[in-house]
Amino acid sequence: MGDTKKVKHAGRFGARYGRGVRSRIIKIEAKQRQLHECPKCGFKRVKRISTGIYQCKKCGFKFAGGAFTPETMSGKIVKKMTKQRSFLPLARELIEIKEEKQKGLMEKKEELKEKQETEQGKEEKQVK
Ligand SMILES: [Zn+2]
């Protein structure tokens, strides 16, 4: 009951919510009901248990993901960020090196200034 030719299982809403909304829900529900690839064993046996919760029917691996799909664009970015956390000490080292370089540059700049000043002084002396 509820399935229609035009909006398939979204027909369960009857005449409510309008055609556009009902046809849109078909797309989303098709995605969330699909079997997804398991990040642990690689088999396409992952099923959505509840909002944001997925479990692999093959190896039993349970994990959190997006509300309607196991992986979302923003989720991918967050994953990258958490992965890069292991590089935090390295990043800190880089920052320290940068700071040291900047200090060195500042000193070099000062040296250059002094040189320029002395050269200017020489030129002035030569002019005199
Ligand atoms: Zn699995």
pLDDT digits (tens, 9 = 90+) for 4-56: 887 888 888 888 888 888 888 888 888 888 899 998 898 999 999 988 899 99
**Are 102 and 55 members of one domain?**
no
Residues 23 and 41 in one domain: no
Tell me the CA–centroid distance for residue 54 and ligand 1, in Å: 10
Same domain for 119 and 83: yes
57, 64 in Cβ contact below 8 A? no
Q: Which residues contact 116 (CB under 8 A, 6 or more apart)?
A: none
Report the number of distinct structural domains present in the chain.
3
Residues in the chain, how many? 128
Same domain, 79 and 54: no
pTM above threshold 0.85: no
Burial class of 52 by CB neighbour count within 10 A (0 to 12, 13 to 18, 19+): middle
Q: Ligand 1 mean position to 40 CA, how many Å?
A: 5
Which residues, in sequence order, are CB contacts of 8 under 8 Å at separation 6+?
26
Which residues hold their Cβ within 5 A of ligand 1, which is an ion?
38, 40-41, 56, 58-59, 61
Residue 57 sits in which domain range? 34-71
pLDDT digits (tens, 9 = 90+) for 106-126: 777 777 777 777 777 666 666
In what order do the strands lie in the sheet containing 53-56?
46-50, 53-56, 62-64
